[in-house]
Amino acid sequence: MQHGLGAREHQHRGFISTGDDVLIGRVITGTRSDDGKVLMRAIGQMLGAAGVSDPLQDPTLELVAGEASFFGGLRRIPYLAGVSPEIALDRVAQEKRSEVAPVAGIRDSFPSLQRRQGDAAVAYFDGPGGTQVPRAVVDAMSDYLLHHNANTHWVFPTSVETDGMIAAARFALADFLNASPNEIAFGANMTTLTFHLARALGRGYERGDEIVLTELDHHANVAPWRALEKDRGVTIRVAKMLPETGQLDWDDFERQLSARTKLVAIGAASNALGTITDVQRAAELAHAAGAQIFVDAVHYAPHQLVDVRGMDCDFLSCSAYKFYGPHIGILYGRHDLLAALDVPKLLPSSNEAPERMETGTQNHEGIAGAAAAVKFLASLAPAETRRASLEAAFAGLHDRGHQLVRQLWNGLSEIAGVTVYGPAPGAARTPTIGFTVGGVNSADVAQRLAAGAVFVSNGDFYATTVVERLGLAPDGLVRAGCACYTTEEEIERLIAGVKAIAKKDQS
Ligand SMILES: Cc1ncc(COP(=O)(O)O)c(C=O)c1O
């Protein structure tokens, strides 16, 4: 089918939902006054051929007809079959916006997704505890160990190569966090790095100085600061969460700040509920009170592109194993602060920032893997610079995660006996949902889902205070987290699994 088109015209993709099937085609906007009629005739012919009797009853048709003049070359999109028109519409719009690699292509990069249990492929919803790892990350780690392995700072080639690899990794992680390479330190994990930072900062604190924490936090962002109560006599103040929404109580947060506040230690995202907290706002308030701010970005970094400059934070930590890398932690510190910190260290080791933050011999292969994880994420949406690629990749992945979390939230909410916690889709959140199934303990739910090859975690995930405030201690929550490889079909399997557990329990 052809249609005369002028130079000003451009193309859109549109779709027609026909219940179970979604037909998708190319829509070309035109300038002729009878465009709508031409379109409707073309659609009518195509739907007639597809056996659809009354296409005009479908509300989504109007959307297409309103702006388009010509519709041709319909094809079926198998992965949209069966999804609601609302999700299909969002999905098509998202595809139009996003340049990020398709999920099927992303999945091919992860050998572990081939794992089967009985007849079923394993569906991994344990990302908030640690994501799967793409082959490129493992290749980078084995390449380092097999061909370049050495200690640092010597003159022979493998040592020089190791120095080069670590320097390059600092550049990669700096792109990941929007920092400078001399602001990136590596360490065992976020917990260890935070204890280390706390000890160093604590040397500058006096009895009665105050640190503000929040109830939403993982205890890796609690215990290191609580240790300073004992070691330095500081006072810990804890800002409340709102159990109904799983969000920070900002009024209470402001009440906790005072002229004595030295530090605000705050999570950018809750690993139990998925809540994203506006750390930029917290930074403004902290700085206005004369305090510094440390951000725990462990659960945030896999889902939102960290921007330490935008957040205006002084320190931030995250862990590569949560964003498709190996088990290693990363600490960002503003360069002048890292350089001035009274950090416990060995005298002969480098006193330059960021090396002065790093104790002993580092996990070189882990550093190679962390850099490869950043490269993997950037490769999902190639652009002119690595940071621009990361921005495009995270924008696309965020849109996808948003669809998935809405599908999961809606599906779980409809099951009698299931309660979902945290902010509803639409509010700032990651694609991680904590829920309970009435009458069934969280370990049993996880166990029964695992029997069907659906892997979810359960318990308090060290977000102990969140679980207490929700009145769910000691059993805790079931937690399902979506990652870049999660599909709608896996979400449907999870929902069906929970439905079966809830039903069995009621019968
Ligand atoms: C939000 C959050 N913060 C901190 C941590 C601790 O990270 P690490 O295991 O790297 O010490 C975790 C781990 O699950 C987490 O989810």
349 and 269 assigned to the same domain: yes
Domain count, the chain: 3
463 and 368 assigned to the same domain: no
29-38, 460-469, 493-502: lowest mean pLDDT where?
29-38
178 and 62 assigned to the same domain: no
355 and 412 assigned to the same domain: no
Contact between 58 and 81 (Cβ < 8 Å): no
CA of 504 to the centre of ligand 1 (A): 34
Q: Which 8-state DSSP code applies to residue 305?
A: -
Give the range of the structural domain holding residue 394, as residue numbers without chain letter. Answer: 106-133+384-506
349 and 293 assigned to the same domain: yes
Strand order in the sheet with 70-76: 11-18, 21-28, 70-76
- Alpha helix segments (H runs only) across 122-262: 135-147, 157-177, 190-202, 223-232, 250-256
Whole-number percent of the chain with pLDDT over 90 = 78
Residue 92 lies in a domain: no
36: confidence class by pLDDT, cuts 50, 70, 90: very low
328 and 437 assigned to the same domain: no
145 and 120 assigned to the same domain: no
50: confidence class by pLDDT, cuts 50, 70, 90: low
Report how far residue 212's alpha carbon sits from residue 218's, in angstroms, rounded to the nearest whole number: 14
Residue 24 lies in a domain: yes
Residue identified by tokens 């004369």 is 290
439 and 461 assigned to the same domain: yes
Whole-number percent of the chain with pLDDT over 70 = 80
Q: Is the CB of 296 under 6 A from ligand 1?
A: yes
CA of 190 to the centre of ligand 1 (A): 6
- Alpha helix segments (H runs only) across 72-180: 85-97, 103-108, 135-147, 157-177
Average pLDDT over residues 139-145: 97
Ligand 1 atom closest to Cα of 189?
10
Q: Is the CB of 220 under 6 A from ligand 1?
A: yes
Contact between 443 and 474 (Cβ < 8 Å): no
pLDDT, residue 23, reads 46
Residue 401 lies in a domain: yes
CA of 31 to the centre of ligand 1 (A): 56
Ligand 1 atom closest to Cα of 299?
1
Q: Is the CB of 481 under 6 A from ligand 1?
A: no
Q: What CATH code is carried by the domain that includes residue 121?
A: 3.90.1150.10
Q: Is the CB of 319 under 6 A from ligand 1?
A: yes
482 and 335 assigned to the same domain: no
CA of 128 to the centre of ligand 1 (A): 9
300 and 370 assigned to the same domain: yes
Report how far residue 132's alpha carbon sits from residue 343's, in angstroms, rounded to the nearest whole number: 34
pTM for the whole structure:
0.82
CA of 267 to the centre of ligand 1 (A): 10
Q: Is the CB of 271 under 6 A from ligand 1?
A: yes
398 and 421 assigned to the same domain: yes
Distances (CA, A) of 264 to 112, 232, 337, 374: 39, 16, 15, 28
Report how far residue 346's alpha carbon sits from residue 296's, in angstroms, rounded to the nearest whole number: 26
163 and 236 assigned to the same domain: yes
Residue 5 lies in a domain: no
Tens digit of each residue's pLDDT (9 = 90 or more) over 64-105: 332 332 333 333 344 454 555 455 556 555 554 557 889 999
